[in-house]
Amino acid sequence: MGVVKRQSIKRSIVNYLGVAVGMVSTIFIYPLDFDTAGLAQFVVALAALFVPFASFGINRLTIRFFPEFRSPDRRHHNFLMILLTGITMVFALFTGLLYLFEDSFIHMLEMIDMNPEVLIDNKGVVLIICLFMAYNFVLADMASNFNRVVIPIIWNNLLFKLTVPLFVLGVYFRYIGLDVFRAAIAGSYVLAFFGLLLYLARLGQFHLSWDFSFLSRNLVKRMGEYAVYGALSTLGYLIAFRIDSIMIGSMVDTGAVAEYNFFSTMVKVMAIPFTALVAIAAPIISSSYAKGDLDEIHSLYKRSSETMLVAGGLLLVGTWSCLDGLITLTGKSEVLTVIKPVYIILAAGNLINMVTGFNEQIIAYSKYFRFNLIAMLVLACFNIYLNITLIPIYGLVGAAIATAVSFTIYNLVKLVFIYIKLRMFPFTGRQAIVMALIFLVIYLVSLVPTDFHPVINILILGSLSVILYMGPILLLRLSPEVTDLVKQGLDRVRGFIR
């Protein structure tokens, strides 16, 4: 866990910087114009949904097949150019088919009570974002093969967090119109592509060559099979867990997307440590399978589950205790308070996802990777049904319920599958104590009076929740990884002071 821990900490720092920027934007900027902010979130979500179709899962090959292409000369048999060229060809085919069958696609949307106009109006910008998003996934994963995750997350995440609020302000103050706004959003992804490309070139890992002679018929067949299953699995994941913004945007309006994402942004704070761990651990899991070292995978599985529960629990109690103050600061309390249950529902589903560890990666890089496809497609259909059924009845809360239920069922099914096939199980008795502690801290903090200014309330309740939660965690060593990490941090602080 040494390399995993160091790299994930660096990535987490960058991610939290992005969260800080995102929180400022969510609280103070996006409420100025929920419609414009929601439009940006809608087109990005729709572009992400198109990526599996437009790339045919080629981006999923970057980590899985890199060990077979790796070479001492750093050219790696032109693996990167093979992937980028493949994506370009598939995207051209996808775009042609989309325009050819556009009328049928619109009719299908109308049949399930979705408004096709918002999709048609943003079709061009969605396709541009989709293409460069697929490129950027490959470039970032390629960098992670060399344990480089910090710079890619800056280009793929932080850049967007910095530019979108500026573009929203530009529309709000009427410096730019919506057409320029859409072009600027797409431009951010194009800029990220060139930034990532230059970074890989600086690492000596990018070479412009179209010599694909290393590809054998058997290798192409295996890559193609894995790509197809990867594409369908990714599509199922997006439908199962990310389609809520698209459904809200097309069944309600884009303003509702921004309102919903006010709470989903808070929930995403919880997922930052998990996302960082996955980015580093995925190549390790792939490599361990290649070496037949299942014990290393099992050890990583258990330790990551303990660590992620503690980290996710800390962020859950912290954000929940501060939520009322944050809502007040937006100036939109009358709108956001009504849909406050969205947060706790989404947070519960996300915590379950974190606690079950690397379910996705353990199955994806094993010989059982096809199971991901089956599980995803079944849950994708289930989630669409839940959204169509619950959004008209419960509005945004219905979308949150659909997503949380999908998260829970998906992870429990994979948990059982991994135990049956690989005899791996991530849970220990300490995690039950941590779960009880989370509920206890939330209850105790709710008893504290909040009669002060929202900022003062946030400081008091946030600090109190951290003390009440982390105190027992450290004293009882409920997570040895977290306890050792805190100890190392304190030792460095003491050394710096001396």
Residue-wise pLDDT tens digits, 432-442: 999 999 999 99
Q: What does the mean pLDDT of the chain come to?
A: 83
- Greater pLDDT, 227 or 77: 227
- Best CA proximity match to 355, nearest among 402, 423, 424, 412: 412
Q: In the structure, what pLDDT confidence band is assigned to residue 476 with cuts at 50, 70 and 90?
A: confident
- For 41, the token pair is 């979130």
Q: In the structure, what pLDDT confidence band is assigned to residue 168 with cuts at 50, 70 and 90?
A: very high
Q: Are 51 and 134 in contact (CB under 8 A)?
A: yes
Q: In the structure, what pLDDT confidence band is assigned to residue 5 with cuts at 50, 70 and 90?
A: low
Rounded to whole angstroms, the Cα distance separating 332 from 329 reads 8
- Best CA proximity match to 219, nearest among 68, 16, 383, 391: 68
Q: Are 185 and 47 in contact (CB under 8 A)?
A: no
Identify the pLDDT of residue 1: 47
DSSP string, 89-133: HHHHHHHHHHHHTHHHHHHHHHHTT--THHHHHTHHHHHHHHHHH
Lowest mean pLDDT among 126-140, 204-218, 295-309, 465-479: 204-218
- Rounded to 5 degrees, what angle do the CA atoms 365, 409, 420 make? 50
Rounded to whole angstroms, the Cα distance separating 257 from 43 reads 11
Q: Are 383 and 240 in contact (CB under 8 A)?
A: yes
Q: Are 63 and 144 in contact (CB under 8 A)?
A: yes
C-alpha Rg value of the chain to the nearest Å: 23
Q: Are 254 and 117 in contact (CB under 8 A)?
A: no
Identify the pLDDT of residue 114: 63
DSSP string, 17-48: HHHHHHHHIIIIIGGG-HHHHHHHHHHHHHHH
- For 84, the token pair is 């980028």
Phi, psi angle pair for 440, to nearest 5°: -65, -45
Residue 2 has pLDDT above 60, yes or no: no
Q: Is 423 exposed, middle or buried (0-12, 13-18, 19+ CB in 10 A)?
A: exposed
- Greater pLDDT, 8 or 213: 213
The H-assigned helical ranges of 331-477 are 333-336, 341-355, 359-364, 370-394, 396-422, 429-446, 454-475
Identify the pLDDT of residue 443: 92
Q: Enumerate residues 6+ apart whose C-beta is below 8 A from 28.
A: 329, 330
The residue with tokens 């599980």 is 375
> Which letter, b or e, does each residue of 364-398 get, where b requires 16 or more Cβ atoms within 10 Å of its Cβ?
bbbeebebbbebbbebbebbbebbbebbeebbbbb
Q: Give the three-state DSSP class for 356.
A: coil
- Best CA proximity match to 45, nearest among 239, 297, 183: 239
- The predicted model gives 330-359 an average pLDDT of 86
Residue 115 has pLDDT above 70, yes or no: no
Identify the pLDDT of residue 480: 81
Residue 351 has pLDDT above 60, yes or no: yes
- The predicted model gives 64-69 an average pLDDT of 73
Domain ranges of the chain: 2-488
In the chain, the amino acid numbered 110 is E
Q: Enumerate residues 6+ apart whose C-beta is below 8 A from 153.
A: 11, 14, 15, 18, 140, 279
Q: Are 162 and 21 in contact (CB under 8 A)?
A: yes
Long-range contacts of 205-210, Cβ-Cβ distance < 8 Å, separation of 24 or more: 205/74, 205/76, 205/80, 205/142, 205/143, 205/146, 206/80, 207/74, 207/75, 207/78, 207/80, 207/81, 208/81, 209/75, 209/78, 209/81, 210/78, 210/81, 210/85
- For 471, the token pair is 């105190």
Residue-wise pLDDT tens digits, 118-135: 777 788 888 999 999 999
In a 13 Å sphere around the CA of 396, the CA atoms on its Cβ side amount to 25
331: left (phi over 0), alpha (psi -120 to 50) or beta: left
Q: Enumerate residues 6+ apart whose C-beta is below 8 A from 142.
A: 62, 66, 79, 80, 83, 200, 205
- The predicted model gives 144-158 an average pLDDT of 79
- Best CA proximity match to 308, nearest among 435, 498, 393, 447: 435
Identify the pLDDT of residue 78: 74
Phi, psi angle pair for 258, to nearest 5°: -65, -40
Residue 498 has pLDDT above 50, yes or no: yes
- The predicted model gives 346-371 an average pLDDT of 84
477: left (phi over 0), alpha (psi -120 to 50) or beta: left
Residue 202 has pLDDT above 90, yes or no: no
- For 53, the token pair is 């179709």
